């Protein structure tokens, strides 16, 4: 176990009807001028928009709106949000939606008081000074952005997808009502679960030894996603199934489960290039990239992959045949993805090898990716090839 710091001051407000507390929570933070960030019409259809707006009005909270956030959220909207905040003396950002909405809000949060181009921050060319505080009402269990310290934004020009992390963008509160996820289509539910599982696996695959406790917590979390994803897809309005997934989704990415260890994150970066170019759902990109990454890197740490197969997927083959155990573990992971109707190969989503070289080069533009195995452009290209 390596030395670590862990600090996550997000207040979780979890359960039925908790969205009704939103204005009270903003008020209790001493804030009164809100930028309301959301996506398309889904929160209007579901009635959530009306609830939020009415609650804000009841508490005499001024608000203006930044809507139209798309999956793989774009930089242009971040710029627009920054402008709105500056023009309206906004003192709090409320994100109502999933990871893309919350990430957009975070981009705005660090950009408002930054003198230069906010994209500098994502390129590692600058650090923000002050961030506007934000809160979240979650409508899909997936990205974990509702309590995390990071955000991912895509620049239209060149389709670059980059992340930025700071404790300052951890939402002050995260309102999580599993009922708000009832209306999600099965495919989106599956993509969300794939993202959650990926966040857990990125943390699980480490060379740091003596991390048994967090290993056990990660395995418990992975098993919960694997158990409940198919159930939630089949029974979309089952509160308990949605609740289990929603709570795992947050803990998977709030920093707790990587305490004392070093995560990998190559697969996320390899996937970002895919969904940057092809606009494939992040969760579907991950279900393709992760098994291929595993096939490419497992020899780096045989024991860890054996443990994954045994502890997460109950692979019960004789321990002397480690390669077989590992293959069976990866096989079971693929079976899980298939069970929730996600692709495991690129050809299933009509992506061919045309941009492999270009994506691999861009993925490693700022150096190799990954900690479990340092992946240079040829390594990344090999992963794309294994995923063909």
**Which stretches of the chain bind its own copies, using CB under 8 A?**
1-16, 18, 209-210, 212-214, 216-217, 219-221, 223-224, 227-228, 239-240, 243-244, 247-248, 256, 259-260
- Output the six-digit token pair for 107: 């981009």
Instruction: Name the nearest CA neighbour of 96 among 149, 3, 159, 174.
Output: 174
CB of 158: closest distance to its own copies in angstroms? 38
- The minimum distance between CB 224 and its own copies, in angstroms, equals 5
C-beta of 15 vs 116, nearer to its own copies: 15
Q: Specify the residue, 154 or 250, whose C-beta has the smaller distance to its own copies.
A: 250
User: Is residue 178 a contact partner of residue 215, using CB atoms and an 8 Å limit?
Assistant: no
Residue 51 CB, nearest approach to its own copies (Å): 17
**11/83 with CB nearer its own copies:** 11
Minimum distance between the CB of residue 174 and its own copies, rounded to whole angstroms? 10
The residues that bridge with 150 in the sheet, in sequence order, are 165
Closer residue to its own copies (CB): 14 or 187? 14
Q: Which is nearer to its own copies, 78 or 175 (CB)?
A: 175
Of the two residues 17 and 354, which places its CB atom closer to its own copies in the complex?
17
- As a whole number of angstroms, the distance between CA 241 and CA 229 comes to 8
- Supply the minimum distance, in Å, between the C-beta of residue 25 and its own copies: 10
Cβ–Cβ < 8 Å for 73, 155: no
Length of the chain equals 388
Q: Which residues on neighbouring strands pair with residue 155, listed in sequence order?
A: 160
For residue 183, the minimal CB distance to its own copies (Å) is: 20
DSSP string, 55-90: HHHHTT-EEEEE----SS-BHHHHHHHHHHHHHTT-
Least Cα distance to 80 among 63, 71, 67 occurs for 67
Q: Give, to the nearest 10 degrees, the angle between helix 212-234 and helix 322-339.
A: 30
What burial class does residue 210 get, using C-beta atoms within 10 Å of its C-beta: 0-12 exposed, 13-18 middle, 19+ buried? exposed
């Amino acid at each position: 176990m390596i030395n670590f710091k862990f600090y996550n001051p997000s207040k979780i407000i979890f359960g039925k009807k908790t969205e009704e507390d939103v204005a009270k929570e903003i008020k209790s933070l001493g804030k009164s001028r809100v930028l309301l960030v959301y996506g398309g019409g889904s929160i209007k259809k579901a009635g959530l928009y009306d609830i939020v707006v009415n609650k804000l009005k009841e508490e005499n909270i001024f608000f203006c709106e930044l809507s139209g956030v798309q999956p793989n959220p774009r930089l242009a909207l971040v710029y627009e949000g920054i402008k709105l905040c500056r023009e309206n003396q906004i003192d709090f950002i409320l994100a109502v939606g999933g990871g893309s909405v919350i990430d957009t809000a975070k981009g705005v949060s660090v950009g408002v008081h930054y003198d230069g181009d906010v994209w500098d921050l994502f390129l590692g060319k600058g650090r923000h000074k002050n961030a506007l505080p934000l809160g979240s009402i979650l409508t899909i269990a997936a990205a974990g952005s509702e309590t995390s310290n990071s955000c991912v934004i895509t620049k239209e020009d060149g389709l670059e997808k980059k992340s930025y992390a700071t404790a300052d963008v951890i939402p002050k509160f995260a309102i999580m009502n599993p009922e708000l996820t009832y209306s999600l289509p099965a495919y989106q539910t599956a993509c969300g679960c794939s993202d959650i599982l990926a966040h857990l696996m990125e943390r699980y695959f480490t060379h740091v030894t003596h991390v048994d406790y967090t290993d056990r917590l990660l395995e418990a979390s992975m098993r919960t996603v694997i158990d409940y994803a198919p159930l939630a897809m089949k029974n979309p309005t089952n509160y308990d199934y949605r609740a289990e997934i929603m709570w795992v989704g947050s803990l998977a990415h709030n920093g707790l489960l990587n305490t004392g260890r070093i995560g990998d994150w190559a697969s996320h970066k390899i996937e970002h290039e895919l969904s940057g170019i092809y606009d494939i759902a992040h969760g579907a990109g991950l279900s393709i990239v992760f098994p291929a990454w595993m096939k490419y890197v497992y020899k780096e740490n045989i024991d860890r992959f054996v443990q994954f197969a045994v502890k997460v997927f109950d692979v019960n083959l004789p321990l002397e045949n480690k390669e077989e155990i590992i293959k069976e573990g990866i096989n079971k992971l693929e079976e899980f993805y298939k069970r929730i109707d996600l692709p495991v190969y690129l050809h299933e989503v009509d992506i061919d090898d045309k941009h492999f070289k270009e994506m691999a080069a861009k993925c490693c533009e700022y150096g190799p990716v990954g900690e479990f195995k340092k992946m240079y452009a040829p390594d990344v290209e090999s992963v794309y090839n294994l995923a063909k």
